């Protein structure tokens, strides 16, 4: 089983990211679950979403405490939350940032592999909005192999309708531009 924790802020699509990936995994014949963790927060408040994908039925029904992968939609969340808490030693952090890996490691002390992509820039260029969820999905899919890239097309079409093509383009850009270090 692969367990993923997604950190973002309300309104950025952390929950949607988890749900889209779960839907794509299920369409591939896998088992998946996605769910959020938040209280009465408002837009902009920190939000965490969880995702599990496996080839067999998932019976676990709790938060992800020891993720294999952590996805950070908004890098400012790293200043208020230990996003790497519980991350497995051989885990992976997928971070939205324009900064070099050495700077990120120095500031936050991350030891695990880093996958970095400037999702905010891509989102503004492709979507015209600073919503990074589908962008970060492209990065996640590329570095994790969690699902096949084409599997996201159906869930994107159902969720976003007439703007699905733009979200697919944002996904594809991140898939191509993400860099893996460590």
Structural domains of the chain sorted by starting position, each given as residue range(s) with its CATH number in brackets:
2-181 (3.40.920.10)
Percent over 90 (pLDDT), the chain? 89
Mean pLDDT of 107-115: 97
- Averaged pLDDT score across all residues of the chain: 94
Instruction: Quote the pTM value.
Output: 0.94
3-state secondary structure 57-103: CCCCCCCCCCCCEEEECCHHHHHCCCCCCCCCCCCEEEEECCCCHHH
Q: What is the pLDDT of residues 165-182, one digit of tens each?
A: 999 999 999 999 999 997
Q: What is the pLDDT of residues 24-60, one digit of tens each?
A: 999 999 999 999 886 555 667 889 999 999 999 999 9
Q: What is the pLDDT of residue 129?
A: 92
Distance CA 50, CA 25 (A): 14
Instruction: Flag whether pLDDT at 19 surpasses 80.
Output: yes
Mean pLDDT of 119-127: 97
Q: What is the pLDDT of residue 42?
A: 65
Q: What is the pLDDT of residue 12?
A: 87
Residue 29, CA atoms < 13 Å, CB-side half-sphere: 0
Distance CA 21, CA 52 (A): 9
Instruction: Flag whether pLDDT at 97 surpasses 80.
Output: yes
Query: What are the tokens at 5?
Result: 């924790």
Query: In whole angstroms, what separates CA 174 from the centre of its chain?
Result: 11
């Amino acid at each position: 089983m692969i367990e993923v924790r997604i950190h973002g802020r309300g309104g950025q699509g952390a929950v949607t990211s988890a749900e889209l990936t779960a839907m794509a995994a299920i369409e591939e014949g896998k088992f998946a679950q996605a769910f959020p963790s938040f209280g009465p927060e408002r837009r902009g408040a920190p939000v965490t979403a969880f995702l599990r994908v496996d080839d067999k039925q998932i019976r676990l029904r709790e938060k992800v405490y020891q993720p294999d992968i952590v996805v950070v939609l908004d890098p400012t969340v790293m200043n208020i939350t230990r996003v790497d808490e519980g991350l497995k030693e051989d885990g992976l952090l997928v971070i939205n940032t324009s900064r070099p890996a050495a700077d990120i490691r120095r500031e936050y002390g991350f030891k695990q592999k880093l996958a970095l992509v400037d999702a905010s820039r891509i989102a503004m260029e492709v979507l015209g909005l600073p919503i990074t969820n589908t962008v970060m999905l492209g990065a996640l899919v590329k570095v994790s192999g969690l699902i096949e890239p084409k599997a996201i097309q159906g869930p994107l079409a159902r969720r976003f309708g007439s703007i699905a093509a733009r979200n697919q383009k944002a996904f594809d850009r991140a898939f191509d531009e993400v860099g893996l270090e460590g």
